[in-house]
Amino acid sequence: MQAGFPFSRFAERLAAVGTLSSDNLDLLAKMPSSINHYSSRHRLMQRGELPTHCHLLLQGYLCWQDSEGRDRRIISIHVPGDVPDLYTVHDLQVDYDLVTVGPAVVASVPHRFFWELAELSPSLWRSLLRLILIDAASSRDWILNVSSRDALERVAHLICEIATRLRAVGLARDLCIPFPFTQSELAAACGISAVHANRTIQELRRSNLLQWHSKTITITNWHGLVRLAGFNPAYLRLPVLDEVEPAEPPAARSADAVANAASLR
């Protein structure tokens, strides 16, 4: 990707699900947009809006949230390179609020650009449609995560998913993940209480699977976290995350420590 290309994460996201030619890169480089910086918990869209633009996330995190619900449940989380409201090119109905999680940089792209791509580059248009289908697959797995896994597995699974998606766009190579989520937001994403979220993170720490300091999660035992979560990234349609080096070598784990991690299931 050429230096200074503002939509590099989006291009990498598209390249992960389809072929991205030099002509396609030229089209993306000419994509009309308005780039803005937002503070945490800024509402970009709200339920009932009739949008004319899509939001391409350049930095930070976005989430779909049921802001009117008692628990302010988070429905999905999005990473750089994602266009969480891409489906509105076809369906203008907005069912939830699109909200920043921590500071974020977002490009607003008019719907007309995506419609023009249908004629200018059928292959790029197919890749965009594939992104919408992958979002739908992710939603199905999200339902599974909050309905059939216990709290420890839910949190572990969410962290595995975020790490995998970040690595697909060239981020978190050392398994060091920016994580501006509060415990309340983590709880809202996993369908548990904030107190339970805190206890769950402490259990993951004690099992030497990760560390969480200063809004950063460092995964110290990737394969152990994957086993605990029962994480299979097939629904993301992305390469399996393996052969990775943790940011800090995990401490040698005794047989008792391994048994303790297994008991947390």
Q: What is the DSSP string of 223-252?
A: HHHHHHHT--GGGGTS----S---SSPPPP
Same fold, 8-146 and 150-263: no
Strand ranges for 39-119 from DSSP E = 43-45, 53-65, 74-78, 97-110
What angle is formed at CA 146 by the lines to CA 40 and CA 140, rounded to 5 degrees? 90
Q: Mean of the pLDDT values across residues 203-218? A: 95
Asked whether residue 244 carries a pLDDT value surpassing 70, the answer given is no
Angstrom distance (rounded) from CA 125 to CA 113: 11
Confidence of residue 261 (pLDDT cuts 50, 70, 90): very low
Which tokens in the block code for residue 176? 């060091």
Domain boundaries, the chain: 8-146, 150-263
For residue 71, name the pLDDT band (cuts at 50, 70, 90). Answer: confident
Structure tokens at 109: 């792209």
Fold (topology level) of 150-263? Arc Repressor Mutant, subunit A (1.10.10)
Distance CA 66, CA 47 (A): 9
* pTM score, whole prediction: 0.87
CATH number of the domain located at residue range(s) 8-146 in this protein: 2.60.120.10
Q: Is the pLDDT of residue 213 over 80?
A: yes
pLDDT band of 9, cuts 50, 70, 90: very high
pLDDT digits (tens, 9 = 90+) for 13-55: 998 888 889 999 999 999 999 999 999 999 999 999 999 999 9
- φ/ψ of 118, rounded to 5, equals -60, -35
